[in-house]
Amino acid sequence: MFERLKELEEKYEQINNDLMNPEIISDNKRYASLMKEYKNLTPIIEKFREYKKAKDAFDEASELLEAGGLEKDFKEMVQMQFEESKEQTAKCEEELKIMLLPKDPNDDKNVIIEIRGGAGGEEASLFANSLYRMYTMYADSKGWKHEVMNANETELGGYKEISFSVEGEGAYSRLKYESGVHRVQRVPETESQGRVHTSTVTVAVLPEAEEVEFEINEATDLKIDVFRASGAGGQHINKTESAVRITYLPTGLVVECQDERSQFKNKERALKILRSRLYEEQLRAQENEIAAQRRSQVGTGDRSERIRTYNFPEGRISDHRIGLTIYRLEQFLNGSLDEVIDALATADQAAKLSAQAE
């Protein structure tokens, strides 16, 4: 590990020198690439230098204590330095192990989130709206941008399905743990008897794919249909054929977009969703080929996996993947997701460290 860290430090210094080279500065693409690499390496190198400083202090204190002959007050001071630097060295070493874990190449990507009502009819659609609100409030708290790409509303204000983009640094690294089945237990607004019902909503978090990552031949791969957009209850909200339905012929995958009045914008958004879905399928296929990698994940993508329960009578959220239960349901639904996401990320890191040790 430390040999690798020394190599990374040398690379870091080289990049630092390159960034002051006028030829590289004038090459926008090269400069941006180096700046991104420099930014990614900075926290690792800073931690490595913190480790080396603590290690030097530990070695110095060890030598003095072994040599003996120290006055009482000075010996106590050296002993304190020994204990503190020993603890700091061990702490930095553990943190470096985590920082050197292979990084998910999608972590810095923007995301497209798709939320669909599952079992539970109108109640599931209403909870889909609650989850949409929760994620957009979380995005706002992080300073991320979000935009609805397609929505199919119900008459009571829920969503049969809604797709929206989230743009911001590290969006996928935080939101990727949300893919799966979300279960809600509460008394529905539509229930007069006051009985608790159980409904489900599925969430898919797709890393936004660039065109270079997944090329689509529009002429041969796509069937594009246009139709009139409609709102809740089938009422026409657009008299022109602006809604777009795209079928990816090789697999039969269908994407619709009708949220914009412009046919061009709806087509652009539908292609964006289609490309991201195909990219996600490609990633899943690759992951399934690597059993060890699959075992070291904390449920970051299986849409059929029940990942979390929201119990309204008890004000409880339970994440089933890591056995975590918290009693702050209202705050959670208002976008305070970090406590659970941090716990999921930590469990994911621990599983990967364990797999690496094997």
Residue 289 maps to which CATH number? 3.30.70.1660
Confidence of residue 192 (pLDDT cuts 50, 70, 90): low
In a domain, 357, yes or no: no
In a domain, 358, yes or no: no
- Please tell me the predicted confidence (pLDDT) of residue 234: 45
Cβ pair 231, 237 in contact under 8 A: yes
Residues 273 and 177 in one domain: yes
Residues 19 and 135 in one domain: no
Residues 174 and 317 in one domain: yes
- Please tell me the predicted confidence (pLDDT) of residue 211: 56
Residues 267 and 319 in one domain: yes
Residues 236 and 199 in one domain: yes
Domain boundary among 48, 79, 99: 99
Cβ pair 99, 165 in contact under 8 A: no
Cβ pair 266, 257 in contact under 8 A: yes
pLDDT for residue 239 is more than 60: no
In a domain, 132, yes or no: yes
- What tokens does 349 get? 């890191």
For residue 95, give the 3-state DSSP assignment: helix
- What tokens does 332 get? 């959670």
CA 292 distance to own-chain centroid: 21
Domain boundary among 99, 134, 150: 99
Q: What is the pTM of this model?
A: 0.66
pLDDT for residue 177 is more than 90: yes
In a domain, 106, yes or no: no
In a domain, 91, yes or no: yes
In a domain, 74, yes or no: yes
Residues 8 and 156 in one domain: no
Residues 89 and 207 in one domain: no
Domain that includes residue 199, residue range: 111-351
Domain boundary among 79, 99, 119: 99
Residues 288 and 156 in one domain: yes
In a domain, 311, yes or no: yes
Confidence of residue 175 (pLDDT cuts 50, 70, 90): very high
Residues 144 and 67 in one domain: no
- What tokens does 55 get? 């290690």
Residues 58 and 179 in one domain: no
Residues 123 and 67 in one domain: no
In a domain, 295, yes or no: yes
How many structural domains is the chain composed of?
Answer: 2
Confidence of residue 301 (pLDDT cuts 50, 70, 90): very low
- pLDDT mean over 260-270: 80
> Nearest 5°: CA angle at 115, between 111 and 118?
155
Residues 152 and 266 in one domain: yes
